[in-house]
Amino acid sequence: MHQKSKKQKTQADLPYEKFLRLGAECLSEAELLAIILRTGTRNCPALELAKKVLSLSSGKEKGLNALHHVSLPELMSISGIGEVKAVKIKCIAELSKRMAMEKASCGLRFDTPQTVASYFMEELRHEEKEKILLLSLDNKLHLIEKYVLSIGTVNASLLSPREVFVQAVKCQASHVMLLHNHPSGDALPSRQDILITRKIKEAGELVDIPVVDHIIIGNGSYTSLKEKGLL
């Protein structure tokens, strides 16, 4: 009798059964991930496997946020994580990023640097390389299109104002905004960032499409060149 009740308790404590009894909000991050993984190995049940995944560190982040940075080979280095499980984990990280952006976009006007930074923070703070985006905006500062201008080191000599404004005209944009990330996590602008902004701003004045800001995203922080008086 005692053995039976002990067995029932063990079953009830398993992540899937716990979810059915108490709901997702009562589960730990490891338990939620264990449900996604479904199975472990003979010597390592799914919950323990999930804890091993969450113990991975990217050097930049730990826990759930590290899942944005760890590679498939790094995940697959854990015994019990094959290609299928590793792909599932990376898809979870991508879905969480897109859900954060979807939530932030409801009724959004890009009229303040904080609004823009909040919207793009989860997309850009996890990037390993610098990515510079062109945001084409309508006359009410709603986003028409996000366009990737370059990936890698942001270089004023390689960034073409022509490409910026050809794209803006194509979208019938009334305003444009520049946005890029610093993988180091430091959102302070470099001399190169300021040169790019001035170069694009001057071109915008000629074609009557104002550059409203250039925002740099760090790790949980941002800098607006407009707010800094650098635009």
Domain count along the chain: 2
What residue ranges in 64-221 does DSSP mark as E strands?
A: 131-137, 143-151, 175-181, 211-217
Report, as an integer, the average pLDDT of 20-40: 91
Q: Tell me the pLDDT of the chain averaged across its residues.
A: 85
Q: Is residue 191 part of a domain?
A: yes
63-87 tens-digit pLDDT = 787 888 888 999 999 999 999 999 9
CB 34 within 8 A of CB 47: yes
187-208 tens-digit pLDDT = 999 998 898 899 899 999 999 9
pLDDT for residue 63:
77
| Torsional sign, CA 211, 209, 154, 146 | positive
**Residue at which a domain ends, from 78, 102, 126:** 102
Least confident of 9-13, 27-31, 127-131, 137-141: 9-13
CATH classification of the domain holding 128? 3.40.140.10
pTM: 0.60
**Residue at which a domain ends, from 37, 69, 102:** 102
Of the CA atoms within 13 Å of residue 92, those in its CB half-sphere come to: 20
140-167 tens-digit pLDDT = 898 888 999 988 766 655 678 898 999 9
Q: Is residue 203 part of a domain?
A: yes
